[in-house]
A and B are shown apart, each in its own frame.
Chain A
């Protein structure tokens, strides 16, 4: 019956189908649906830029206006992928420019973006509106200047955690006076100064500005002036938050804050004098998102005072930073030092947990929590323990996403958390000691994570840590039916562990494993599985060169890449040689042509 609908009707119906997964599904129904869908798709999402090439994307979706691309594997974030590995955006921009694509939005994650690409982007697409770069690198503020100067209708420039070379030019001043269309501007990750007057004028002439995130170099008094001009903001990232708290400026800031009745999201505090924090209390009551994870030196007490004002928080990112342990304490006697230091250590543990206790009592709407480790150079990194997590789970029933770095964990705590919060979609636990056992029983943490996967039926993303045997993977394979991404480090005993996961998790898309004893048997047991997944990363495991070659031979639609670092690069290594780093992914276009010397595609 649907075959008798004219295409226009189908197209109209498809307009309501927005998620790319749904659109992918729609396109598989029949040829005519495929055809209608491909001409009407405006937003294209490509989870692995090497799974396909620009020409094929453009050929299939000629009307694409918004492109999202992801490049390097996730473990690149933790320095496991050498520089120059790949993930260049230039070929994509070049191809789209050549084919006259009316590109309006480009969203990139973990890609290499050169100034050249930005310049080409700025000049090739007259309707370009939105640039979002997350964890990218390779560009400088000159590239940003090109964007600012040329994109006449720019609405969004959002730079998140990129490594940008700051040329100390005046990129922000390159926004012409005629630019009044900005809705979102985030340059928090830049290190250099911007011209304060230019910034103030820019804000003043963009009445639709809703989201503004400043960098560290923007001082408090500029922030105060900006807020006075832009009380309509709903997302604010402060720059430096340091000033004499008794000064007139702080007073004016507090008044300006009072007028900003729409701010729902607050971040920044890249440098902070905690005594200035009360200036933000006026907006705390309506905050739904608070990111203090970059704020050094906000002690638990100040944090708690701030949190107590934020009853509507849905998302909280914190870092329990305890100055005491910024310095390592060296003791000359042994046992007393032991006692003293461990005693101090325990107290410090409870500090972080106390802060979380305050969150648990106050933030009943909390859905997402991220707790980053405190100072990495301190002794023992006393920050939070399992107690904090349990408190949060008890106090915040809506919690569905957590990233929790902690000193220690117990099975009992995880079991309690699983009971309290069955709604987790993302559960990422990272013990600072990657193989630490249950702090009470000394057993592996298998049962704890087992409880999590059993209880949280909607779990899509899981990162495990601590002492773990194959048992935990048995649980994961058995219960984690919706799991799409799994991160494993220093875990498991044998190939069985990995096999449980590959056999059990039907919806698995990304599997990344490091320093775990999984080898060839696991790798080769079900080679077809990898075509149902986006990618597999294995580093410092037991997989050999020969097995990787076998896999590559059997599966022509996979790229099996070996990353070879170090001097022992032989022309053809022994098949029995262990492979240090392997990254494989499904692809429609065969081995990539931009792989550097140290990457071999088998």
Chain B
């Protein structure tokens, strides 16, 4: 467990006011301050692979710029060891290879040390025709759009001719989903179509379960809760501050935190809701870290997908 705390806490990436904020408890060896913004911005059109040596943008195969660059390129080798260490602990799946993989991700130093002749071939600038993919394929893949998400493909070939539009999900007039709460054996159903925002949903859920909670604690052995508590309700469900947190299961079976995505997107992918004890959530997050890299990656991808919507 101890190693995990060094990694970015995934569940710390909680949207506050639609901004992603990464909370870090400890400083890195570079002594940066604690809170950094994880800014999500549209990348520039790449198109061609760029080989560069020792430039800031040498990592990727695209032009890559850092918003507030500290002093050096993020991808230079002298920063590798830091990354290796924590990533090894983070990602148990990657195992021994992570360190080496990290090295491989930065082509410039490796090239320079390994092969003296490579200088000439690693001329800066875009490389025509690499990777070798037929232009037809390049244009068509890049301009494709996932109907789930709106994609803006920057600068790619001929625009797709729009055929008949994909059918909008005009859908039924009501959308009842099950909602269960930790500690309460009987679930409820809510009609999501009757709400148009997360706040309203949260209030509704609160009301739904308040009575049940009260009844439950009355019938519990001891019944120690006083009247005030019983009528207090559940508190805020959405920001992790209350005793309970609202999560949902989406159409792919993944458990997601409610509130990440725009309301209409949430409504179109939600399959069921669940009210968890917030303390459970942190247990879950530990569980999360213990899972294999595959599950983690799914989480990341989900977040990434959601994130693109936010922009």
Binding site for B on A (CB under 8 A): 75, 77-80, 135, 161-163, 166, 189, 191-193, 216-219, 239-240, 242-244, 246-247, 249, 270-275, 293-297, 299-301, 319, 321-351, 354, 372-373, 375-381, 385, 405, 408, 430, 432-444, 463, 467, 469, 487, 489-490, 493, 514-517
**Which residues of A sit under 8 angstroms from B222, Cβ to Cβ?**
none
Q: Establish whether residues B308 and A322, one from each chain, have CB atoms under 8 Å apart when the complex forms.
A: no
A161, A331, A373: the one contacting B38 at CB < 8 Å is A331
Contact assessment for A296 and B144 in the assembled complex, using a CB-CB cutoff below 8 Å: yes
**Alpha-carbon separation in the docked complex, A373 to B46 (Å):** 14
Report how far A299 CA is from B145 CA in the complex, Å. 12
CB distance A350 to B161 under 8 Å?
Answer: no
Alpha-carbon gap, A153 to B45, bound state (A):
47
When chains A and B are docked, how far (Å) is the Cα of A444 from the Cα of B36? 38
Lowest 5 CB-CB distances: which A-B pairs, in order?
A328-B43, A297-B146, A296-B144, A324-B304, A78-B129
B75 partner residues in chain A, CB cutoff 8 A: 338
Nearest Cβ in chain B — how far from A437, in angstroms? 5
* Contact residues, B282-311 vs A (CB, 8 A): 293-294, 296-298, 300-301, 304-305, 307-308, 311
Q: Are A242 and B82 in contact (CB under 8 A)?
A: no
Complex: how many Å from CA A300 to CA B252?
Answer: 12
Contacting A at CB under 8 A, from B1-57, are 7-8, 22, 24, 28-30, 32-33, 36-47, 49, 51
> Is B64 in contact with chain A by the CB < 8 A criterion?
yes
**CA separation between A216 and B215, bound complex, in Å?**
57
Which residues of B pack against A, CB within 8 Å? 7-8, 22, 24, 28-30, 32-33, 36-47, 49, 51, 59-62, 64-70, 72, 74-75, 79, 82-83, 86-87, 90-91, 93-94, 97-98, 100-105, 107, 110-111, 113-115, 117-118, 120-122, 127-138, 140-142, 144-149, 151, 153-154, 158, 160-161, 163-164, 166-169, 171, 251-252, 293-294, 296-298, 300-301, 304-305, 307-308, 311
- Using A297-B149, A378-B43 as known contacts, say yes or no to A346 and B49 having CB atoms under 8 A apart: no
Residue of A whose beta carbon sits closest to that of B297 = A347
Given A218-B163, A296-B145, A327-B311, check contact A376 B47 (CB 8 Å): yes
Verify B294–A354 contact, CB threshold 8 A.
yes
A334 near B40: Cβ-Cβ < 8 Å: no
**Nearest CB of chain B from residue A74's CB, rounded to whole Å:** 9
Q: Are B128 and A517 in contact, CB atoms less than 8 angstroms apart?
A: no
Q: How far is the CA of A249 from the CA of B138 in the complex (A)?
A: 31
A378 to B301, CA, bound (A): 13
| Chain B residues with CB under 8 A of A375 | 141-142
Contact yes or no, B301 A432, CB < 8 A: no
B118 cross-chain contacts in A, Cβ below 8 A: 435, 467
Contact indicator B42/A327 (Cβ below 8 Å) = yes
Which residues of the other chain, B, contact A490 by a CB distance below 8 angstroms? 121
A335–B81 CA distance with the chains assembled, in angstroms: 11
CA distance A439 to B141 in the complex (A): 28
CB distance from A221 to the nearest CB of B (A): 8
Query: Which residues of A sit under 8 angstroms from B151, Cβ to Cβ?
Result: 296-297, 323, 326
Which single residue of chain A is at the shortest CB-CB distance from B36?
A333
Residue from the list A344, A376, A378, A442 in contact with B138, Cβ < 8 A:
A376
Q: Please tell me if the beta carbons of A436 and B107 are within 8 angstroms of each other in the complex.
A: yes
Decide if the interface of chain B is mainly helix, strand, loop or mixed. loop
Given the contacts A332-B67, A337-B36, A343-B91, A433 and B141 also touching, CB distance less than 8 Å:
no
Option from A79, A332, A342, A442 in Cβ contact (under 8 Å) with B114: A442
Nearest CB in chain B to that of A514: its residue = B129
Q: Which of A192, A242, A340, A489 contacts B161, CB < 8 Å?
A: A192
CB distance from B98 to the nearest CB of A (A): 6
Q: How far is it, in angstroms, between the C-alpha of A335 and the C-alpha of B238 when the chains are bound?
A: 30
A251-B78 Cα distance, complex, nearest whole Å = 57
- Contact B167 A243, beta carbon cutoff 8 Å: yes
CB-based contact A517/B114 at 8 Å: no
Whether B136 contacts A135 by the Cβ 8 Å rule is: yes
Taking a contact as CB atoms under 8 Å apart, the answer to whether A435 and B66 are in contact is no
A249: chain B residues at CB < 8 Å are 167
Point out the residues of chain A lying under 8 angstroms from B62, CB to CB.
Answer: 328, 377-379
A350 touches B293 (CB 8 A): yes
- Contact residues in B for A191 (Cβ distance below 8 Å): 158, 160-161
A336 touches B137 (CB 8 A): no
Contacts of A469 in B (CB 8 A): 115
Which residues in A have their C-beta under 8 angstroms from that of B83? 335, 338-339, 342
Contacts of B127 in A (CB 8 A): 434
* Closest Cβ–Cβ distance, residue A302 to chain B (whole Å): 8
* Max chain B C-beta neighbours (<10 A), residue from A79, A344, A433: A433
- Distance between B144 CB and nearest chain A CB, rounded to angstroms: 3
Assess the A441–B166 pair: CB atoms within 8 A.
no
Do residues B169 and A515 form an inter-chain contact, with CB atoms below 8 A? no
Known: A78-B132, A192-B161, A377-B46. A335 touches B82 (CB 8 A): yes
B46 to chain A minimum Cβ distance, whole angstroms, is 5
Task: Judge whether A240 and B114 touch: CB under 8 Å.
Answer: no
A529 to B: closest C-beta gap in Å: 25
26 CB contacts below 8 A, A to B, read A77-B135, A79-B135, A80-B129, A135-B136, A161-B137, A243-B167, A271-B144, A295-B144, A330-B40, A334-B69, A334-B72, A336-B8, A336-B22, A336-B28, A338-B74, A339-B28, A346-B87, A346-B94, A435-B111, A435-B118, A436-B107, A437-B111, A439-B100, A467-B110, A467-B114, A487-B132
